[in-house]
Amino acid sequence: MNHINTAVLTGLVHHLNNKKGSEYFSFSIRHENIWTDGTTRKDFLNARAFPADTQETLKALPENSPIRVKGVLRSSKGSGELYLAVLEAEPLDALPAQPENSVELSGNVHLVKAQAEGETGTGKYMRFAVRQEDQETGRDFIVVRVYDEEQRKILASLSSGDPVDVHGTLRSSRGSGVNYVRCVKIG
């Protein structure tokens, strides 16, 4: 089954230690935007580049180079950690005035039992995963946090296995650094 899974981000390249012989180039994207209290919010978003030409582009960039990336979200088969599988990387001369960070997903609702609700400095949220499955990539569980009260009501009306569309942004938890999709709208 084909599902929507797209992510577009601008940010600064943050190099990570890479193992020789790895099938991908691992890095993070430092994404900054102005938060609701006027401070700058910094997210470190885990990314992996698989295409050889994209890996070479990223390896050649100095630390903190501005970049625009397009890709899909995946969950690591071992740890379940969410990461951005980068398909395209475009070096930029400078970051845009309005940083890009958009995620669109479709799949099936997977209600999580452990820590289904939580609270951060930005408010209370409900947590679930969008399950995507196909023969090529296998199964992914993409973790989503829903903060908005109206969107939480919509989520509460859904059952495990129901089809779902999610629009949001990619974020990293300030406490744990875990990446997740912050839901803007459930369709």
* pLDDT confidence bin for 1, thresholds 50/70/90: low
Q: How far is CA 49 from CA 35, 53, 104, 131, 147, in A?
A: 28, 9, 19, 22, 30
Radius of gyration (Cα) for the chain, nearest Å?
Answer: 16
| pTM for the full predicted model | 0.92
Q: What is the pLDDT of residues 52-88, one digit of tens each?
A: 999 999 999 999 999 999 999 999 876 788 999 999 9
Q: What is the pLDDT of residues 170-186, one digit of tens each?
A: 999 876 788 999 999 99
What are residue 17's phi and psi, to 5 degrees? -70, 130
Alpha-carbon span 75 to 110, nearest angstrom: 14
| pLDDT, average across residues 106-120 | 89
51 token code pair:
């295409």
pLDDT, residue 151, reads 97
Are 16 and 29 contacting, i.e. CB atoms less than 8 angstroms apart? no
